[in-house]
Each structure stands twice: as structure tokens, then as C-alpha cells.
Structure 1
Amino acid sequence: MLSTNYPVVILCSLTAFFFVALLAIILVANPKNTISRLFALYLLSSFIWATFSAFEALDVNAFQEFIFNRIVNILGVFPATISFLIFGLAYLKKSYKFWLIFSLITYLPLSYLMYTGGFSIVYQEPFVGGLRYHSRVEAGELLYLAIGWGALLLGILTFYLIRDLFTSRDKVHLKKVQLMLLAIFVSGGLALVFNAIPSLWVYPVDIIGQLVAGSVLTYAILRFELVDVSTKLRNVIVEIIFSTALATSFLALVVGVQLIFKVSLLWLGVVLAIFVTSLSQPFKERLLRFIDITFYRTRYDYRETINNFVHRVSEILDLQTLCQSIRSTTKETFGAKGVELFVGHENSYLQSTSSTKPAFFEENSPLVTLLRERPEIIIEDQLRNYPQVALEVATLNPELIVPLKSGESLVGILFIQERLSADPYSTEDKSLLVTLASSSAIALKNSILYQEVVEKNLDIERLLEREREVNESKNEFIAIASHFLRTPLTTIKGYLYLLINGKLASREARNYLLRTFNEQKKLGTLVEDIISISSLEKGELKLAKEKVSLGEIVKRLLTDYDSLATEKRIGLTVEIKKDVVILADRQKLTQAVANLVDNAVKFTSVGRVSVVADTSENQARVCVRDTGIGIESFQIRKLFQKFHRGTSLHTYNYVGSGLGLYIAKLIADAHGGKITVSSKLGTGSTFCLLLPLEARG
């Protein structure tokens, strides 16, 4: 009977103990999380692997060794490989159902065939886990098939990891991927090398690989919160590490002394354990600080992120930029799938994301009312008590609803969806959210106030600009009106003086009287325009609607302006494509069309003016086209302003009050119509009066 291989037994036993400790930590931390369950399955399989490898290292016969080896592979190696693959895919948020089915289907027959057709018992050869010659199970061809099967599963996971390594931009995610790749290369590489090279079977290389992989993955979980580990577990970790250290020291001392000196010093180990325990407190405190820094540094980074965010938002005044910063920082900090921010605006809360039709909550909505009464973070489970609120926010799918309050004012509402890892938000996360919410509310309120100041300043500037334009127009009107009043009055005064003093012959007196009448007519037109503007602007104008023929109005205007066009040597044509009878105020409608024709004739020196009456798209239309001086594009929007005559040098040679187009527009508006303009400087203009056909008789 050969002696037991103590080094292998101790190594495998400590590894098994380590896996059990990690299994307890993960299950206590978050037993309901899918990722934690899959990782726990991997740890359980690895525990079986290490435990029965330790049994193999004992002094056993060939049959016992065969049984232990079968348990190691069927319940340890194969399940560990499968659970490692599925755990990794779930960790990467990939679909794993297909690979789970594939693994199970191939695992069951492969594990059976390996021990029926692929192995035979050979004596006096090194065996798995032993350091001496003994009977063992020899590998057949199916063992190498099993090695290929394991390599395939690890290769699938490696492919996804490498792809994420080159495509992901998330720094934290990249660190997780790197750690998982390290675990695969160490455990998978050592396992493949161990099984492929028989000369290495005398060393427990595969167990060492599992020990390293388990340590790396546990570090990744605790460091980067793959599952939500409460800070209370740090004490559990300390106790496990401390107990492992004591157990290792005790076993090393007792077994080492026994092997070297062939004597038992069990009492010395007990005394040493008591002595080390009494001096353990300072060591444990240092270990606690080390674990806080090593495993929970991410939480401290979160706090630093919030502090940096508070400093940054205090410098952001643009509301849209601030909202984007709040959303992105919250999403990245807590690893949320999505974050939505609603900001108070007048009597509602509008969604801050850019959208043509953003979602909103009314001031008196159930959600806003609840947040005013209960200004606390609302978690998804609590929404069951508020069915109306739950229905209202269903499309946002929030895990947390965070009110952003500044004093007693509800500035905004933050909706945070579940984490990418599917882990719940911890108490510490909610405390950080409260800090973020407070800082965000203050920043939003400052930004809104700043935005209001900017808008009011813009309104003031627009009003000042409008006032300047009105003053300029009034001054210009006064100059023009005084000219129009002074000129005919002076002419009338001169003619009357000549008539009174009898210095004119009867024929000359008649001509002067006619001219006096025409000058008086101009004065009457100007006064009539001013009165019309006053009535139209006040809304006091009453339209005397009757059946009116557009064709008749256009024909009459041809008679009125034909002599003026002939005098200026320009053509004036009228075309009635389709005569339409509508309900309108004949006098006002005639005045509007006359103003358009008068404007065209006035600003046309060469060419022609054409007036066309027809219908277009359920509208009656009168278009006046000319070949005059045209209008600059920036002047078109000012054409229908009161007293505006244009600022182009080309308009200085043309007299006018600047009221004709303004009055025409007011008349069109009063009839439910409009006037359109198309023009280009130097080529002429087209003015179209459009009236709805619904008004026809």
C-alpha cells in the first residue's frame, strides 16, 4: 500500500474550500440574479472537480480511482465547462438558449461513451492527480473528442469576448471582458494542455487553472458589480480569507513536521492558532481597508463621478446640453438600460429628448400629484399601490422614478430603467441618486431662469427693433403725407387765388377748376386710406357682403388705369380665365385689387402690367403681374407693413404713402383670404389676391 500524496490532497482540498466560500458569497449576495446563479453552478461543478480529484490522490485501488475519475468528469469537468460558457454569454447579454441545448445534448452521450468505449484500465502507470505509479484509466480516442468538445465551447465564448473587446467603447465593460479572457486562457489553456500531454498527468495543473479562473472571475464580480454585492459581505470575505490562511498554516505545520520529523505536533498547531487569532484584529482591519479599495473601488469612483458631475453642471447654462449631461451621466454611472428626463415647462413636464412631439405629463396628472405629496424615489414594486401612475408611466418602463426638487418646487422627473446586468439598485445607489437629483434640480432651475432671462432679452430686442421700424415708417409717412398734403393744398390755393381775382379766361378757369378737383380727390383718397386702416386695425370695419363678380371688378379697373398706363407708355391687359361670383364687400374688394394694380403701374416704367382672374385649388384668384423694378428678397417680408415703401435706391423715384399694400392685406384678411408675392429684383413682381370659394354666392 502506497502512502497518500499529501501535497495534492492539500491543494485540491483548499481549492474545494475556496470554491465553496465563493459559492456562499455569490448566493448570499444575490440569489435571484440569473448571472449569479450561473456562476454559482460553475463554482459548484468546480468544487466537485476539486473534491474528487483530492479523493483520487488518496491511496485507492484501481476501481475506486475509476469511480472518482468518472465523478470528476461527469459531475465536475463537463458541467463546469458548460456553466462557464452559459455564464459568459449571459454576462455579455447574448442569447444562450441554443448553446445550452447544444451543450446538454452533446454532454450526455459523450460522458457515457467516454467510459464505455474510450477508456481501459492500465496498471503501474501515473494517474490523474497522483505523484506515484499506480493503476489508472487510459485515454482512448473519445477522450480527445471530449477535449475538442470543451475547446469548442470555450472557443465560442472567446469569439464573443474578442468581438466585444474590439467593438465596445465602455471602459468598464472592456475591463470585464479582459478579466474573463484571462480566466479562459488560464483555466482553458491549462486544462487543454493537461489533457493533451499525458506526461503532465502527474501534476494537478487543471485544478490550479480552475483556482486561478475562479479567483479572477470573483474579483471581476466584486470589483465591477457583475452582481449586486452588498458592502456587508466584505466582512464575510475577510473571515474566509483569514480562516483559509489559518487553516493553510495549520496544515502546513502539522503535515510538514510529521513528514520531516516523523512526529505529531498537533498541540503546537492548536497553540499557534490561538496565538495568531489573538493578534488577528490589526491584520483584519488592514484587510478590510484593502478589500474596500480593491473590490469596492467602483463605488468610490461613482462618488467621484457625481462630484465631477456637480462641478460640471454648475457651469452648464444651456438647458438642452444640461439635460443631455444629466441623462448620460446617470445612465453610465448606474449602468442603466435607459434614462429619460422630463423638465417642468409652464403647466406640464416635457420630455427633454429631441423630438417633434415629446411626451409630457400635465401639472395635475397622477404622477406629478404623487411626487408633490411624496418627494421620494419611487421603485417599480411600489407602483402597484398607484395603478393610475403605473398606467401613466408604462411606456417608459422605469425601475426608479426620481423627483428633482429644488426647495418646494418640482423642477423635473428622472425615469431610470433597469440595469444592463438585471441587478436591483442597492441602498447605496439610491443614496447616490438622491445626491444627483438634488444637484440636477438646482442646475436645471438655474438653467431655466437663465433661459427665461435670455428669452426676455430677445423679446425686448425684438420690441425695440419693431419700435425702431415703426418710428422710421412713421417718420417716412409724415414726410410723405406732408408732401402729399402740402402739394395739392398749395396747388388748390394758387388756383383759387387766380379764380377769385378774375385773372383767368373762362376756358383756363375751367381747366384750373378740373385740376383743383383732381388735387382734392388725391387728398380724399389719402384721408380715406387712413380712415380704412384705423377701422380695419380696430376690427370695427363691417363688411357689406353681396354677390360680386371678380371679372366685373377687374374690367372696371382696366378702364380706371388705362389712361395712366397709356401716359406711362406701358401695356395694361386684363384676362378673365374664369369669372367667379363670390360673397364680398364690393367697395373694399375693389379697393384691394385697385391698390395692387396701382402699385404695379406705379413701379413699372417699361413693359406691361397684366391682370388675370381665375380659380386655383378651391380659391378665387386675381393675379397682377408687372415687369417693373422688382423687389429684393429681404424686403418681401416687410412689404405689407404699414408705411413701408422699401429702402432700395430704385424706389426713391416713386412716390407713394406706403399704405396701399398694407390696406390690401387687411381687406384680404377680413374676407378670410391672403395675398402672395413672388418677385426678383430687376425682372418684375407678381401679387396674387386669394379668396376662399366657400364665400361665393
Structure 2
Amino acid sequence: MIAAKLSEKIKSFGRLGYIIYPIVILICIPILLIINTAWNLKTFNRDVNFLIRHQAVSVAETIKPIVLDNISDIEKLREILIKTANSNSDIVDISILSENNQEIDLLVSSSGNYSQDDFKNLGLSQLSIGLNESFAGLGYDPIAGKNLWNVSVPLEKIEGGNYIVFLKFGVDKVDEILQRTSKDSYMILSILVIVALALLVNHFIFYQKAQKTRQLEEVDKLKDEFLSMAAHELRTPITALVGYLVLLQKKISPEEAQKIASDIALLQSLTNDLRNLIEDLLDVSRIEQGRLTYEVADVDVNKVIGDVVATLFPSAQEKGLAINYQAQSLPIVKADHNRLRQVVTNLLGNSVKYTLEGSIEVKAKKEDKFIEVSVKDTGIGIPPNELPKLFSKFHRVQDKKTESARGTGLGLWITKQIVEQMGGKMSVESIYGTGSRFSFTIPLRS
């Protein structure tokens, strides 16, 4: 009992895992993609800013000696700074600052947009002077209305004063690249997230369909098991009933037999129908479970067809139908005699059943490495829309002309399975209202 409960719990966990595992994967993928995209953009921004900072410092270091040479001529220095700034679209402003007693004064500016007050309390410049090193920082510039790199490069002491090259470097191109890169990255990310969500939804749909399919398979399996069991259980009483009918006919007098002849005939017909139904159900069960056996041997097709024609001739004669068959010289085939007889009986029996007037023609001929047997009738025919489903299990043609004919819809399915398992093929041609032609092939003896 404990082992059974434990086994059931393990199975339930397994089923739960089948649901949860794909969900976790599909949820983790978008999250990881978001993290990866954010990390890549952050890294890209950091690397680009490093390059810009390096470029800005390099520009400031480059003009440093020019400033030293022209520090005494402010107007000339202004022209040089303006020319230098115009040569690089990323340079917003180049200013020369002086420092005396920790006070920052503006000597000259290339853009003319900045005043003395804009450089007061400028810690970056004071830090450059104090440590005698170049410094750069990214910050918002209220005059330019955007983020700028502020680069401060200290000059050598000149005439007792400290001087600084202060360069404002724009990041417009970088911002544009970053925006475009971010837009593309988030667009791709959005598509991937949508795809992941679609896969998640599809997984739920697939799981529900799989559950339904599994349930249908279980129901189908139970149905097959029930039909097989019911057929086996019914077979014995039907056999006994047939035997009792035979005994009854022997025990009663001829006069009494004459009186109940029609009743006996009806009972025999019904028991035969029931016995055929049981045999069909058993065949279906055997075929689906792969238990239908074949005793393959050399078979004379002419003899099999002749026996079936002789058996069904009385039924055809009662309806005023003619069965035409001309035996020809045919090679021996490799097949199961009883199964081959079952196939021919089924096809010819259907023709007799569904042909109201006219004739039935049976032919057998050699086709390459096969013998082709065909049964052609002048019956009611089959509607075109019914042909694709004709060989399905339990399928019967939906037509007013066939409502009165008894049948289970198993015969053609069984016939097709038997033919194919013996190495042949089955086909049908039909014109509604004119007739049908069923044919099958059986391989020759090799």
C-alpha cells in the first residue's frame, strides 16, 4: 500500500515537472535576455565614454603647448582656440583659466558662451592644479543643455601663475549611437520576449491537447479491451445457440418444422449476423494488437474466388443479380487461404448487398509481380465525399439508399488491413448512382 502511494506521488511529481520545467525555462529565457541586454548596453556605454574621455584628454594635451606659446597674446590665443574648436565638431568650448589664491579666472573662451561665473567653484580645475594632473568628468551643462565631458589639463607655472586648459567635449554622436543601439536591442528583446510568450502559450495548448489525446487513447484502449472481452464472452453462447437451432430442427417433426421454417430461418440469419459481428470485433482487436496470424502458403486464386461465388450465388439470385466470373490461367500466389477468402467474401458480399439490380463482375489477372482481383457492380455507388473515409473503422456511407442495409462499418477496414499485411494494396473507384469497383493485389509466389 505504501509503495503504491509512493509510486503514485512520484508519478504526480513527474507530471507536475512536465508542466513546470518548460514554464520555468520559458520564463527564465526572457529574464536572462533582459539582463544580458541591459548589461551589454551598460558595458557599451562605459567603453564608449572611456574612449571619448581619452579623446578629450588627448585634444587638451595636444593644444597645451600652443597655449603655452601664446599665453601672452590673448587675441591670438582666442583665434587659435576658435580654429581648433571648429576643426572638431565634438568640441563645444575651449577655455583658458588662471588660478590665483584658489580663485579661478577666465582668460579666454573659444565659444564666448561662458563667463567668469560659470567657472567659479569648479572643483575639477582646482583638483587638476592641486595634483598637477589631467582630470575629466561627465556632467550636465546648463548652458549647452546636455551632458558634456569636462576636461581639465594643468599648464606649467608661467610668470608665477597657474593656468588650466578647460575643454568641454560633446557626446551627441555617442548619445545617438547609444539611442540607436538601445532601440535596436530593445526591439530585438521585445520580439524575443513575444516569441517566448507565444511558446509559453503554445506549450499550454500543446499540454492540454496532449492530455486530451492521452485520455482519448486510454478511452480507446479501454474500448478495445471491452470489445475484445465482450466478443470472446459472446462467442460461446452464440455457438451454443446455433447448435441448439440445429438440434431443434432435428428433434421436431417435418410438419412442425414446416410451420416454423420462417422463424428458424430468421433466427439462423440473426445468429449468423451476430456471429459475423463478433468475428469482426475479434479481428479488429487482433489487428490492432498485432495478434492476427497468417498461415502463408501457395494459394490458387481461381479456386478461392470460385468457392466464394458459389457460396454467394443463391443470395444474388434471390435479388435477381448475375455474378459473372471467368476463371483464367493464373500463377500461384503466396497468401493465407482463409484470409484471402475472407477478403473476397467481404467485397463480393458488399456488392450483392448494395446492388439493387444489374450484375456483378469478378475478375482476376496478373499485374507484374501481383495478381489483381477486382469486384465491379452496378450498385448505388459511393458519393465522392465518402470515398476518403471509406476504409475507416465503423464508417458507413451516409445515404438513404443504405439505411436499410445492415452492417457495422468494420468489413472494409478489416479487408484493407488484411490485404496490406499480406503485402498487397487496396483501391476503390466509384461513380455515385452507377456502381463501384473494388480491387486488391496479392503478391505472386517468389
Rounded to whole Å, the distance in 1 between the matches of 2:108 and 2:358 is 114
Is residue 433 of structure 2 the alignment partner of residue 678 of structure 1?
no
- 1-side partners of 2:219 and 2:178: how far apart? 60
Amino acid at match of 2:423: G
Give unmatched runs, 5+ long, in structure 1.
Answer: 1-228, 258-270, 317-442, 477-484
Report the counterpart of residue 562 of structure 1 in structure 2. Answer: 313
CA contact (8 A) 2:224 2:285 kept: no
CA contact (8 A) 1:596 1:687 kept: yes
**How far is 1:515 from its partner?**
7.5
What whole-Å deviation, never above 9, does each CA across 1:351-404 have from its counterpart, x for those lacking one?
xxxxxxxxxxxxxxxxxxxxxxxxxxxxxxxxxxxxxxxxxxxxxxxxxxxxxx
Counterpart Cα distance in 1 of 2:249 and 2:333: 50
1:238 to 52, 56, 75: 56
Which residue, out of 189, 205, 215, partners 1:310? Answer: 189
Distance 2:221 2:184 in 1: 54
Q: 2: CA distance between counterparts of 1:607 and 1:291?
A: 100
Contact 1:612 1:624 in 2 (8 A): yes
Structure 1 distance, partners of 2:259, 2:194, is 84
Check whether the contact 1:551–1:580 (CA below 8 A) recurs between aligned residues: no
Specify the alignment match of 1:288 in structure 2: 149
How many Å separate the matches in 2 of 1:314 and 1:563?
Answer: 74
The residue identity in structure 2 corresponding to 1:561 is: L
| 1:495 Cα deviation after fit | 10
Q: Is residue 677–residue 685 contact of structure 1 (8 Å, CA) maintained in 2?
A: yes
Q: Do the aligned residues in 1 keep the contact of 2:334 with 2:443 (CA within 8 Å)? A: no
Calculate the aligned-residue CA RMSD, in Å.
Answer: 5.3
User: For residues 74-85 of structure 1, what are the structure 2 equivalents within 5 Å?
Assistant: none
Matched, 1:253 2:71: no
Counterpart in the other structure of 1:299: 178
Asked whether the 8 Å contact 1:474–1:643 carries over to 2, the reply is no
1: CA distance, partners of 2:324 / 2:437: 14
SS of aligned partner of 2:316: helix
Structure 1 equivalent of residue 403 of structure 2: 652
Match of 2:438 in 1: 687
Matched position secondary structure for 1:584: strand
Give the deviation of 1:305 after TM superposition.
Answer: 2.7
Structure 2: segments with no counterpart, 5+ residues: 1-46, 80-94, 99-106, 110-115, 126-135, 139-146, 151-168, 228-235
Query: Where does residue 209 of structure 2 map in the other structure?
Result: 458
Counterpart contact for 1:571–1:609, Cα < 8 Å: yes
Is the CA contact (8 Å cut-off) linking 1:246 and 1:273 kept in structure 2? no
SS of the residue aligned with 1:315?
A: helix
In 2, the alpha carbon distance for the partners of 1:468 and 1:641 equals 18
Q: How many residues in Structure 1 have an aligned counterpart in Structure 2? A: 325
Q: Could you report, residue by residue, the CA deviation over 1:159-179 in whole angstroms, capped at 9, with x for unpaired residues?
A: xxxxxxxxxxxxxxxxxxxxx
Match of 1:625 among 367, 370, 376: 376
Deviation at 1:449, TM superposition (A): 4.8
Greater relative CO, 1 or 2 (CA 8 Å, sep 6+): 2
Alignment of 1:494-505 (within 5 A): 502=253, 504=255
Cα separation, partners in 2 of 1:493 and 1:462, compared to 1, 3 Å: same
In 2: Cα distance, 1:561 partner to 1:619 partner: 26
**Corresponding position of 1:321:** none
Equivalence for 1:549:
300
Q: Deviations over 1:523-576 (max 9, x none)?
A: 554444444444444433332222112233223322222332232233432356
CA distance in 1, matches of 2:389, 2:218: 14
The aligned runs of 1:22-421 (5 Å cut-off) are: 231-239=49-57, 253-254=75-76, 275=107, 285=138, 286-288=147-149, 291-316=170-195
Match of 2:341 among 570, 585, 590: 590
Task: Tell me which residue corresponds to 2:160.
Answer: none
Distance 1:649 1:546, change over 3 A: same
Tell me the secondary structure at the aligned position of residue 303 of structure 1.
helix
**Which amino acid in 1 is paired with 2:300?**
S
CA distance in 1, matches of 2:401, 2:226: 20
Report what 1:197 is aligned to. none
Q: What is aligned with 1:605?
A: 356
**Change in 2 beyond 3 A, CA 1:632/1:489:** farther
Kept after mapping to 2: 8 A contact 1:675/1:689 = yes
Cα distance in 2 between the residues matched to 1:533 and 1:656: 15
Distance in 2, Cα, partners of 1:472 & 1:681 = 34
| Aligned match of 1:581 | 332
Give the conservation status (yes or no) of the 8 Å contact 1:495–1:512: no
Q: 1:109 matched to which residue of 2?
A: none
CA contact (8 A) 2:238 2:275 kept: no
Contact 1:473 1:644 in 2 (8 A): no
Distance change in 2, residues 1:302/1:458 (3 Å): same
Tell me the equivalent position of 2:10: none
Q: Does the 8 Å CA contact 1:547/1:583 hold for their aligned counterparts?
A: yes
Measured after TM superposition, the shift of residue 236 of structure 1 is 4.2
Specify whether residues 617 and 295 from structure 1 end up closer, same or farther in structure 2 by C-alpha distance, changes over 3 A only. Answer: farther
- Could you give the per-residue CA deviations for residues 602-651 of structure 1, whole angstroms, max 9, x where no partner exists? 11223433222224454332222333333344544443344433343332
Residue 586 of structure 1 deviates from its aligned partner by 0.7
Tell me the CA shift for residue 671 of structure 1.
1.3
Structure with the higher fraction of residues in strand conformation = 2
Alpha-carbon distance between aligned partners in 1 of 2:194 and 2:402, rounded to the nearest angstrom: 51
Q: Is the 8 A contact 1:673 1:690 kept in 2?
A: yes
- Residues 516 and 306 of structure 1: is their aligned pair in 2 closer, same or farther, counting only changes over 3 Å? closer
Q: For 2:225 and 2:360, locate their aligned partners in 1 and report how far apart those are by CA, in whole Å.
A: 30
Closer, same or farther: CA 301–653 of 1 in aligned 2, 3 Å: same
Q: Which digits, 9 at most, give the CA deviation of each residue in 1:86-112, with x for residues without a partner?
A: xxxxxxxxxxxxxxxxxxxxxxxxxxx
1:288 counterpart letter in structure 2: W
The CA deviation at 1:295 is 3.5
Counterpart secondary structure, 1:569: coil
The share of aligned pairs that are identical, in percent, is 22
- Contact 1:499–1:509 (Cα < 8 Å) also in 2: no
Number of the residue aligned with 1:370: none
User: Amino acid of the residue matched to residue 654 of structure 1?
Assistant: A
Cα deviations by residue, 1:306-328 (Å, 9 ceiling, x for unpaired): 23443443333xxxxxxxxxxxx
Q: Distance in 2 between matches of 1:519 and 1:593?
A: 22
Change in Cα spacing, 1:292 to 1:649, as seen in structure 2 (3 Å) is farther
SS in 2 for 1:546: strand
CA drift of 1:652 comes to 0.9
Asked if 1 retains the 8 angstrom alpha-carbon contact of 2:430 and 2:436, the reply is: yes
